Amino acid sequence: MKKSFVFWVEEYLYNPKFFQKILSFLLYPLSLLYCFIMWIRFKYTTPEDFGIEIISVGNLVVGGSGKTPFVTALAHNQKNIAVVLRGYGRKSKGLVIVKDKENILVDVEQSGDEAMIYAKKLPNAVVIVSEDRKVAINKAKEMGIEKIFLDDAYSKHDIKKLDILLDVPTKNNFCLPSGPYRERLWKGKFAMVLQEDKDFKRVTTLKDETSKMSLVTAIARPQRLDSYLPEVVAKHYFEDHHNFTKEELEAILRKDKSESLLVTFKDFVKIEKFGLPLSLLDLELELKYGKISEL
């Protein structure tokens, strides 16, 4: 039931059908009110200067846009850095140091899937999850960090930072609840807006390929993977940040008679502990250093 609802909402927000469009227009007055409240929030917020370089990578809409691989690509060759994020889907609360400058300190249940990606892909970075980004920034400064990357923090207008926004094309340009926009790029708010294929491109690597693979993934708008997929036996989509069980994955292998499960790295960090046969569709970003050469 939850999975069906999540996919219906994604369709409603990004590619609405006729009756969904009607619902969207009926909710439009609420969208105007919501957008006005978010503008007031921005207008009367004063950003705090933490005395350290902070770069935020985000997007204006709900759902996935490639923030995690973008931060990874931007930060991979830099030193004395920290990545700070909320840690959505984790079973812990408060501030958790997922990785210090040398070691991963917690498991994926405590970190959340996206934080664990950073921990595994950025060996030189400190990774911190916290609902309160300011607390995490101060903790990173205590640890001697010189540069901080915030994952999905455009809306944190009370933090002085450089905002990078990844543009996400959509046929629905309304604010919530009529459309996918959480906020607008407000007048007076500077942000670097980057577009796929213009400022960056996706590069995929297929590892441990088998002749019969079943796609299993729990990312937002999983149809985004279609253009990068090799031939698969079947596709199994779960809601974003879904916590897999070994039993449900074993059932997929049996039903499809597959030799392996094809997963993204976001899925891999949650599934690898089960010891099942996995093939990895690793999506990374190649940055075109025009606008972003100085970062």
Decide if 89 contacts 188 (C-beta within 8 A).
no
Long-range Cβ contact pairs of 16-23 (< 8 A, separation 24 or more) = 16/171, 16/172
CB atoms within 10 A of CB 269: 22
**Torsion sign over Cα 188, 194, 199, 205:** positive
CATH class of 201-284: alpha beta
Is the pLDDT score of 167 beyond 90? yes
- Most confident option among 8-17, 28-37, 218-227: 28-37
Phi then psi dihedrals of residue 199, to 5 deg = -105, -20
Integer angstrom CA distances of residue 124 from 154, 180, 289: 25, 35, 22
Is the pLDDT score of 118 beyond 90? yes
Mean pLDDT of 182-202: 92
Tens digits of residue pLDDT in 120-140: 999 999 999 999 999 999 999
Q: Nearest Cα to 192, choosing from 221, 216, 163?
A: 163
Q: How far apart are CA 40 and CA 149, in angstroms?
A: 26
Angle made by CA atoms 70, 72, 73, in degrees to the nearest 5: 65
Is the pLDDT score of 293 beyond 70? no
Tens digits of residue pLDDT in 67-102: 999 999 999 989 999 999 999 999 999 999 999 999
Q: What is the pLDDT of residue 171?
A: 81
Decide if 258 contacts 252 (C-beta within 8 A).
yes
Integer angstrom CA distances of residue 161 from 45, 77, 153, 157, 200: 14, 21, 9, 9, 21
Q: Where are the domains positioned within the chain?
A: 53-194, 201-284
Q: What is the pLDDT of residue 77?
A: 87
81-85 and 126-129 beta bridge pairing: parallel
pTM above 0.95, yes or no: no
Q: How far apart are CA 139 and CA 146, in angstroms?
A: 12
Decide if 196 contacts 287 (C-beta within 8 A).
no
Q: How far apart are CA 129 and CA 61, in angstroms?
A: 22
Q: How far apart are CA 236 and CA 187, in angstroms?
A: 42
Average per-residue pLDDT for the chain = 94
Q: Cα 70 from chain centroid? A: 9
